[in-house]
Amino acid sequence: MSNDLKSIRGKCFVLGDDIDTDQIIPAEHLVYDLDDPEESKKYGTFALSGVPLPQSGLPEGGTTFVPEGDWQSRFQIVVGGKNFGCGSSREHAPFAMAKAGAKAVVATSYARIFYRNCINGGYLIPATSLEDLSKVYRTGDEVEIDASANKIRNISQGLEHELAPLGDVAEIIAAGNVFEYAKQMGMVG
C-alpha cells in the first residue's frame, strides 16, 4: 500500500515539546499482538493515552486523542513541538497512532528512532515544520498537509506554513514502507 504525498486533510491534535514514546503508548499496553487485527485495535485505543492533559492547544477542560471506549480518533494529524517521539525506541508508538487513524505528525524535530520507525513501518508521515506550530494551531483545527509542495494549511485559522522537504524518504513513504521500497528498487526478492 502506498501513501498519498499530495494531500492529507483532517483535524489536528496539538501537543507540546518532548512527547515521549511512553506517553504515545504506555508500556503497560505493549502486550497486544501487532499482527492480530482485533488485538492490534488496542494500540489505537491507548494511543497518546499517557499524555498529561491539558496540553498546549487543547480546548478548555482538555480532550483525549481517542474517545473512551473506542479505538479510532477523530484527529488525523498530530502537531507537536521539538523532540517528538523521544524515549525508548519502540516501533509501537507510530503504529499506535496510525492504528487510531493518524496519518501524519508535524513537529519541529523528532527523536531519530521515532522518525525512522514512522517511515520504515509506513505508519505515519513525519513532516518537519520550520516553526513551532504547536504554539499557533489548536486541537480541532481543520488542516491540510501538501507534502509535495512542502506546505501545511490551517484552514480553520486561514494560515499557511512551510514544511521541510521530505527528501529521500519521500520515495520510501510513497512505496508504503522500507520493505516495499527495497522490493521496488530490486534490493530484495
pLDDT of 178-188, one tens digit each?
999 999 999 98
163-169 average pLDDT score: 94
pLDDT digits (tens, 9 = 90+) for 37-86: 999 999 999 999 998 765 555 544 467 899 989 999 999 999 999 999 99
CA 162/CA 168 separation, integer angstroms? 18
pLDDT reported for residue 11: 97
Q: For residue 31, name the pLDDT band (cuts at 50, 70, 90).
A: very high
The mean predicted confidence, pLDDT, of the chain is 91
pLDDT(175) > 80: yes
Q: What is the mean pLDDT of residues 9-38?
A: 94
Q: What is the pLDDT of residue 173?
A: 93
What φ, ψ does residue 135 adopt, rounded to 5°?
-90, -10
Cα–Cα distance, 145 to 8 (Å, whole number): 5
**What is the residue type of 114?**
F
pLDDT at residue 2 is higher than 50? no
Query: What region, left, alpha or beta, does residue 158 occupy, with left being phi > 0 and alpha being psi -120 to 50 degrees?
Result: left
Distances (CA, A) of 123 to 2, 116, 164: 11, 10, 19
pLDDT at 90: 81
**Which residue ranges form the domains of the chain, and what is each CATH number?**
8-184 (3.20.19.10)
